[in-house]
Amino acid sequence: MDDIVGDRLDVIFVGINPGLRSAVRGHSFSTPGNRMWPALHRSGFTPHQFRPEQERDLLDLGLGLTTLVRRATARASDLTREEYLRGAEDLLARMEILRPAWLAFLGVTGYRTAFGFRQARTGPQSATIAGAHVWIVPNPSGLNAHYPPAALAEEFTALRIAAGLPDRTQGPAGSDPGPADGR
């Protein structure tokens, strides 16, 4: 799967690795139970709920998507520690070129394993990567029962506010952001 990135984006969201179904479909977060697209909208990052096929539209909002490890697997637990470590080196090299303001890791597991910060928790991190501020949001996988949709959106909202981005669900007075399914 291709990264959805560009130079000097406001926030690049960093997943652990592509899921098999998303890799086959060729679009990020395209499994039915994944809550990434609803979380982005409910937190104000996007004006309406995007569909996976609209992922490139994130670039117009200063947002991007990438993964720590590029190999698709059924579960992140299928990855080896060495893959995480190589992924960290690869991510660092890519971010040195792209220079985003923020990197938002989707879940603590990938960040902890790849960068060795065993005590990392969700929220802002003291470390930077290639000059980018680092924030960890909960993993939006439908398997992450620790964060129901409203709590997930609150965590994403905290990142959006810290990054200084507007609430894009609040369009100009009288404007219609369009239906939630993007049609």
Per-residue pLDDT tens for 13-72?
999 988 878 888 879 898 877 899 999 999 999 999 999 999 999 999 999 999 999 988
Helical ranges in the chain per DSSP H: 20-25, 36-42, 81-98, 108-115, 149-162
Contact yes or no for 140/29 (Cβ under 8 A): yes
Question: Directed axis angle between helix 108-115 and helix 81-98, to 10°?
Answer: 90
Pairwise pLDDT comparison (73 vs 161), residue with the higher score: 161
Position 172 scores a pLDDT of: 57
Position 128 scores a pLDDT of: 97
Burial of 7 (0-12, 13-18, 19+ CB in 10 A): exposed
